[in-house]
Amino acid sequence: MSVTESTLGSQPVRQGIHRAAALAKQAEEHARDRQHAKGKQTARERLDLLFDKDTFEEVGRFAGGDIAGDRAGSAVITGFGLVYGRKVGVYAQDFSVRGGTLGRAEGEKICRLMDMALRIKVPIVAMIDSGGARIQEGVAALTQYGRIFRKTCQASGFVPQISLILGPCAGGAVYCPALTDLIIMTKENSDMFVTGPDVVKAATGETISMDQLGGGYVHNTRSGVAHYLGEDEADAIDYARTVLAYLPANSGQKPPRYAFISGHAERQAAKRLATVIPENDRQPYDVLDVIHAIVDYGELVQVQELYARSIVVGFACLEGRPVGIVANQPMVDAGSLDVESSEKLARFVRLCDAFNLPVITLVDTPGYKPGSDQEHAGIIRRGAKVIYAYANAQVPMVTIVLRKAFGGSYIVMGSKAIGADLNYAWPSSQIAVLGAQGAVNIIHRRDLQEAKEAGRDVDELRNKLAREYETSTVNANLSLEMGELDAMIDPEQTRPVLVQAMDLLADKQRVRVNDKHHGNQPL
């Protein structure tokens, strides 16, 4: 065969390539027309927002398509790109192709992407916008969900996994994001539910909209399913990029380190700490004022900011080192622990421990929230998750008692007894089994009763006994003497003490305690 004949024989392939390129262009134009009309971006536009400019490399562009039959590809886009210069894998569902539904081809592409991400040990981001399982494919579509579930579980704790809900996510599909580390939703067009409004009405008679049933606001404020509520798609994707900047690529690496030089701003912030805590120990204050004063640039990236607000958790840096921050919020229920805040706290500590982020705990809590509603909601089981998280964590852990640490909450909130490496307290801190008033009512019950019968001023006696109890018992002295606290520090010393602690614990190693398969965590 001559060179000319060989070249001519290759022409149909070249025409096919041109046809594929034309199909791809038409597909994106079609996607823009459909998505923009709904106030949504196309899958490829979302990828442009996620990755550093011109770094996305697609995998399996035409897999599941039929070029000769004018079908450009399947309803999911997969590939890798860079986020702040670090590699990340992604699968983005394309609602403009068969409603983004998942069939055999889509499942194969997603599983292949996840396998590749696990082999090269990089984070996985899922962009969800789908009508669910493709009904036409029946059990074949459901099988793909099962495969994705299993791979998501295999990746859990090994590489960071983030789910962006940018459209509908219903039925069994909701469990893919539920298994990941963080779920990000938007105020508009973002829905998650196991059974939709029509099924709910048919089964219960209740009429409810998609947004009321499983919209972004509901899952960020009431259910706790989601971890961030974006103003729009760009904001949601930017939050995902920001979180990835604090996390390592996988569990075998340490988080990235950033350049930072302390200066005048940090010194001024330290001075403000001296005035944060009110003299009246019952008066609330915003713990965010404390956090902003001790972390780099005053920046805290909160997780679940709108849910269980008596606890604040989030990512920050100390001298360029990413850390996880956990703090009671006295502005909400005096910073007490309840079923929701316990789960929020425990999950965040587990996330930090999985990906080697030190945990800094700022304590100011009167204890677990009392009441029959809490007991019936399972405060024993759900509160125990906090214990499990701290007791099993092996990352550097540093705790500072800001004001109150009473009873069981003192123990579970990163005490030295439960596994913290270094523990400090501010001079105003109160550490005891009970607060003064509660302790006096129990210890001096008979004295108070006798005073009442004798016609004496019971409130005056109670206050006097409470002051004596505070002086003798409700302070950090006993904890210092027992070695449960390493030092009493002035508020202005907080940041430098934490920085020194991070330096000291930088090379802390994990230790395998025994040969068990895994613990049986309270769930």
Higher pLDDT: 309 or 463? It is 309
Identify the pLDDT of residue 6. 45
Identify the pLDDT of residue 164. 98
Query: What is the rounded distance in angstroms from the CA atom of residue 243 to the CA atom of residue 71?
Result: 36
Residue 370 pairs with which residues in a beta bridge? none
Higher pLDDT: 199 or 225? It is 225
Query: What is the rounded distance in angstroms from the CA atom of residue 118 to the CA atom of residue 124?
Result: 9
Portion of the chain with pLDDT greater than 70, in percent: 89
Query: What is the rounded distance in angstroms from the CA atom of residue 363 to the CA atom of residue 369?
Result: 15
| Nearest Cα to Cα of residue 447 among 461, 467, 427, 426 | 461
Residue 326 pairs with which residues in a beta bridge? 313, 361
Would you call 132 helix, strand, or coil by DSSP?
coil
- Top-ranked range on mean pLDDT: pick from 13-22, 61-70, 195-204, 453-462: 195-204
Q: Say which residue the tokens 């049986």 belong to.
A: 520
When the candidates are 3.90.226.10, 3.40.228.10, 3.40.50.10440, 3.10.350.10, the CATH number that belongs to 264-434+474-505 is 3.90.226.10
Q: For residue 111, is pLDDT > 50?
A: yes
> Which amino acid is located at 350 in the chain?
R
Q: What is the mean pLDDT of residues 331-355?
A: 97
Half-sphere exposure of 206 toward its Cβ, with a 13 Å CA cutoff? 12
Is-contact 148 113, C-beta < 8 A?
A: no
Mean pLDDT across the chain: 90
Tens-place pLDDT, residues 453-488: 888 887 887 787 777 776 666 667 767 777 889 999
Q: Environment class of residue 371 by beta-carbon count within 10 Å: exposed (0-12), middle (13-18) or buried (19+)?
A: exposed
Question: CATH 3.90.226.10: which residues of the chain?
Answer: 19-246, 264-434+474-505
> Which amino acid is located at 129 in the chain?
D
Identify the pLDDT of residue 481. 77
Half-sphere exposure of 244 toward its Cβ, with a 13 Å CA cutoff? 29
Q: For residue 151, is pLDDT > 90?
A: yes
Q: Say which residue the tokens 């494919």 belong to.
A: 137
Tens-place pLDDT, residues 171-220: 889 999 999 999 999 999 999 999 999 999 999 999 999 999 999 999 99
User: CB within 8 A of 248, min separation 6: which ones?
Assistant: 160, 254, 255, 256, 355, 356
Q: Environment class of residue 62 by beta-carbon count within 10 Å: exposed (0-12), middle (13-18) or buried (19+)?
A: middle
Q: For residue 433, is pLDDT > 90?
A: no
Higher pLDDT: 11 or 175? It is 175
Portion of the chain with pLDDT greater than 90, in percent: 71
Query: What is the rounded distance in angstroms from the CA atom of residue 95 to the CA atom of residue 111?
Result: 19
Identify the pLDDT of residue 494. 97
The two tokens of residue 157 are 């704790």
Identify the pLDDT of residue 379. 95
Query: What is the rounded distance in angstroms from the CA atom of residue 348 to the CA atom of residue 359?
Result: 10
Half-sphere exposure of 52 toward its Cβ, with a 13 Å CA cutoff? 11
The two tokens of residue 236 are 């949601």
Q: What is the mean pLDDT of residues 278-291?
A: 93
Q: What is the mean pLDDT of residues 49-66?
A: 88
Identify the pLDDT of residue 401. 96
Would you call 118 helix, strand, or coil by DSSP?
helix
Would you call 302 helix, strand, or coil by DSSP?
strand
Q: Environment class of residue 272 by beta-carbon count within 10 Å: exposed (0-12), middle (13-18) or buried (19+)?
A: middle
CATH topology of domain 19-246: 2-enoyl-CoA Hydratase; Chain A, domain 1 (3.90.226)
The two tokens of residue 313 are 């958790």
Give the model's confidence band at 116: pLDDT under 50 very low, under 70 low, under 90 confident, else very high: very high
Ranking 45-54, 66-75, 122-131, 363-372 by mean pLDDT, the lowest is: 66-75
Please count the residues of the chain. 523
β-strands 301-302, 76-83: how paired?
unpaired
Q: For residue 64, is pLDDT > 50?
A: yes
Identify the pLDDT of residue 437. 66
Would you call 86 helix, strand, or coil by DSSP?
strand
Higher pLDDT: 95 or 72? It is 95
Q: For residue 34, is pLDDT > 90?
A: no
